[in-house]
Amino acid sequence: MARYTGSVCRQCRREGLKLYLKGERCYTEKCAVDRRAYAPGQHGQRRRGKVSEYGLQLREKQKARRTYGVLESQFHKYFKEADRRKGITGENLLQILESRLDNVVYRMGFALSRPEARQLVKHGHFTVNGRKVDIPSYQVRPDDVVAVREASRDKGRFKDLAELMRTQGTMEWVNVDRENLAGKVLRLPTREEIDIPIAEHLIVELYSR
């Protein structure tokens, strides 16, 4: 399966904002966006001209893709699914992205970043409703229970997780049992609860061209 293997800090610099892809590093002075607030590459420091309407739409799509770690073909598939659903297409798209298992693991506080959550899921450390799931794109639904596998709880990353999670906040659409390293999806998030600076209407306009 294809995946991005380059520097994730370059992705943040290209979008001009923190996408929080490096976990704790993003909150320190080592963050690449804070140190080099310009696009990567030899022409990154050139003064930017006026961005076209298409350019604005493209940047919003790329920002969403990179935030959630989704490749182009998969993102397009999500958009078509969002367009089929009732309601506002842009909000449906964000709800689908938020419902990915790797994102839910991140939102529940079991990982410090989405890339880390994706890796932990791939390695089979989580169950959904008691069954092991190692597919990061798995769509979690309301009332699903996501938990760290019993066999994984004594391993390095999870030994002190309960203590670490006490210092972290969680979203209102999930309920987390920190002691038992489990969480329940109460409902799909509303647009106001998705704290991603994305203008989703521009993505809809891009795919409607």
pLDDT bin (cut points 50, 70, 90) of residue 10 is low
- Is 52's pLDDT higher than 80? yes
Distance CA 140, CA 28 (A): 32
| Model confidence pLDDT, tens digit, residues 107-160 | 998 988 899 999 999 999 999 999 999 999 999 999 999 999 998 888 777 777
Amino acid letter, residue 192:
E
Lowest mean pLDDT among 25-29, 113-117, 124-128, 203-207: 25-29
Lowest mean pLDDT among 46-50, 99-103, 195-199: 46-50
Which domains occur in the chain, in start order? Answer: 1-49 (1.10.1050.10), 51-98+195-209 (1.10.1050.10), 100-185 (3.10.290.10)
Percent of the chain with pLDDT over 90: 55
**Could you tell me which residues come within 8 angstroms of residue 170 by beta carbon, excluding any fewer than 6 positions away?**
107, 108, 109, 176, 183
Which residue reads 């994730």 in tokens? Answer: 8
pLDDT score recorded for residue 202:
95
| Model confidence pLDDT, tens digit, residues 59-108 | 999 999 999 999 999 999 999 999 999 999 999 999 999 999 999 999 99
C-beta of residue 78 within 8 angstroms of C-beta of residue 96: yes
pLDDT bin (cut points 50, 70, 90) of residue 3 is low
pLDDT score recorded for residue 209:
81
Query: Mean pLDDT, the chain, as a whole number?
Result: 83
Higher pLDDT pick, 32 / 77: 77
Task: Tell me the average pLDDT across 34-38.
Answer: 54
Lowest mean pLDDT among 4-8, 70-74, 191-195: 4-8
pLDDT score recorded for residue 1:
44
C-beta of residue 85 within 8 angstroms of C-beta of residue 99: no
Lowest mean pLDDT among 14-23, 45-54, 64-73, 81-90: 14-23
